[in-house]
Structure 1
């Protein structure tokens, strides 16, 4: 039997897989990941056979056709699938074990933490912080008796791991997510990773520089539904898109937020955050447009045609109008 671990390249995907491999090491497993928005990862492995696949933090709905091929009767494959994005109807296959929970305050790291009965719960806290689920992260940390200094360390680690996942391509990132997972792997405790990993120091410097630039921008649209920002088409803005969106959401928790960056082909890459006071609707909004998807609290559109920007802003305002968000 071969082993293949497929995971989203953000903090949640990395921390979910790290928990599983601390619990059940598979040093011979092949690893497959990509930038955070590279969600159709199973398209790359439809030809595998006699393989045990672990798939973490990528939308089953966006990978349905490829998953069906992987689960074909004569493939000899099995799939363990854990995720918190919209999934749609699950394939009916005895070779599929699925743990899907799209609730707004759940992430894949927290799902794995539940399955492992809290064995590596501090890494689940890191993953939840990375996914901007501060409330869920803090609740679990309180149960673990984590003090404020340690909590700040876990939060910073999650933010920095998540920061590395954003970009239009791997060239935008400081580290290929597979490489970054390799740097996380030796550490059973996040404290030791924070203290010793050179990767985290690199990410901290990049994060501070990119955020300083991002925070100088003002909204291009603002109303009582939310704020829309646009950053220039540069590598730094693509890297910072996710963590900057999360920061904006924390600033104004009653408002929705959208962040636009231009792709090479002039289409727009959009990150959407539902109001933190009502974490719903981001996925519904983004699925209305080509290449859109995500989860209720945070979603995105990979390539919105620029001529549809006015339509998007109008839909954004309608989706998150205060009278419709209660």
Structure 2
């Protein structure tokens, strides 16, 4: 049995998209909302199964990974999040790059020697690697308009991945992946009036209008924090709003809190764009937290821990 296991954000979807455009196979898709990262646990692995695992932390999936290898599965693993110690096993191919200026789709792009390079650029935009994506677009000879189009497409695919459950999303990530698989070139998505691009574009604009009306609840020299209400639109916009804020004030960290209506917040933390380090380490100090150097999150931060979170972030970036 073949399993494609991937993060439901732009990076995970487009990483798999490139692989399957290059090498189509029949597989079972295993994915979910962006924060649903312990995906290996959802697979009942048997000997001889083939697992392609993309854009989910090896550290968070270590137990299930070791279990899969122990029963005789073959695992291809590509990621850029915290990995812990990478197991050495004859059935594991691991392509891990923790550089803050890369993403899983760019790792796959290198593996495929640029076969679907425009898709990789789209993913880099979606993962908020704006400077990197702009350089790649310029090197690829794209016009300013084309570059802006890939930026918007990547942002919209990423936007679709945020929510506490798949019902919050406009498309289930597996359905969005399958819809995009029809387009070897990302510009074909934009050219097709019936593609997911236009539905996501309209929804994104509505959610952004709502969030831009919210004032910060904390602001200091190196950190701004925004609290969003308990609602589906808040959960959808939280991550891309964090990216938006990071680009507006690149010398500051930004925290976006979404009220879970149970005494906790879902947290999206963005390191300063001009100092892309530490976000994953900060969030990992809190239960249910993790991520990478430039962007990380906490699934359930107790409201009583908010002051400690703010203090930790401010001290780190002072």
Taking the TM superposition and a 5 Å limit, the aligned residue runs for 1:136-151 are 136-151=132-147
Residue 102 of structure 1 is matched in structure 2 by: 98
Q: TM-score, normalised by structure 1?
A: 0.96
Distance 1:36 1:49 in 2: 29
In the TM superposition, residue 136 of structure 1 has moved relative to its aligned partner by 1.2
In the TM superposition, residue 46 of structure 1 has moved relative to its aligned partner by 4.3
Taking the TM superposition and a 5 Å limit, the aligned residue runs for 1:201-220 are 201-220=198-217
- Residue 19 (1) aligns with residue 18 (2): yes
- Of 307, 310, 319 in structure 1, the residue corresponding to residue 304 of structure 2 is 307
Q: How many residues align?
A: 317
Asked if the contact 1:46–1:66 (Cα under 8 Å) also holds between the matched residues in 2, the reply is no
Q: TM-score, normalised by structure 2?
A: 0.98
Distance 1:35 1:6 in 2: 12
For 2:206, what is the secondary structure of its paired residue?
A: helix
Asked if the contact 2:45–2:73 (Cα under 8 Å) also holds between the matched residues in 1, the reply is no
Which deviates more from structure 2 when the two are superposed, residues 293-302 or residues 259-268?
Answer: 259-268
Residue 157 of structure 1 is matched in structure 2 by: 153
Gap runs ≥5 in structure 2:
none
In the TM superposition, residue 234 of structure 1 has moved relative to its aligned partner by 0.5
Residue 39 of structure 1 is matched in structure 2 by: 37
For 1:71, what is the secondary structure of its paired residue?
A: helix
Distance 1:175 1:48 in 2: 30
Distance 1:209 1:83 in 2: 32
- Of 271, 275, 279 in structure 1, the residue corresponding to residue 276 of structure 2 is 279
For 2:61, what is the secondary structure of its paired residue?
A: helix
- Of 284, 288, 313 in structure 1, the residue corresponding to residue 285 of structure 2 is 288
Residue 81 of structure 1 is matched in structure 2 by: 77
Distance 2:48 2:302 in 1: 41
Distance 1:246 1:57 in 2: 18
In the TM superposition, residue 47 of structure 1 has moved relative to its aligned partner by 3.5
Which deviates more from structure 2 when the two are superposed, residues 247-256 or residues 135-144?
Answer: 135-144
Distance 1:61 1:170 in 2: 24
Asked if the contact 1:46–1:67 (Cα under 8 Å) also holds between the matched residues in 2, the reply is no
- Of 48, 55, 64 in structure 2, the residue corresponding to residue 66 of structure 1 is 64
Asked if the contact 1:258–1:271 (Cα under 8 Å) also holds between the matched residues in 2, the reply is yes
In the TM superposition, residue 265 of structure 1 has moved relative to its aligned partner by 2.4
Distance 2:34 2:136 in 1: 25
Residue 324 of structure 1 is matched in structure 2 by: none
For 2:118, what is the secondary structure of its paired residue?
A: helix
Asked if the contact 1:46–1:69 (Cα under 8 Å) also holds between the matched residues in 2, the reply is no
What's the CA shift string for 1:281-323, capped at 9, x where partnerless? 10111011001100000000001112111111111111122xx
Asked if the contact 1:127–1:158 (Cα under 8 Å) also holds between the matched residues in 2, the reply is yes
Distance 1:47 1:181 in 2: 23
- Residue 298 (1) aligns with residue 295 (2): yes
Asked if the contact 2:8–2:31 (Cα under 8 Å) also holds between the matched residues in 1, the reply is yes
Which deviates more from structure 2 when the two are superposed, residues 80-89 or residues 136-145?
Answer: 136-145
For 2:15, what is the secondary structure of its paired residue?
A: helix
In the TM superposition, residue 76 of structure 1 has moved relative to its aligned partner by 2.8
For 1:117, what is the secondary structure of its paired residue?
A: coil
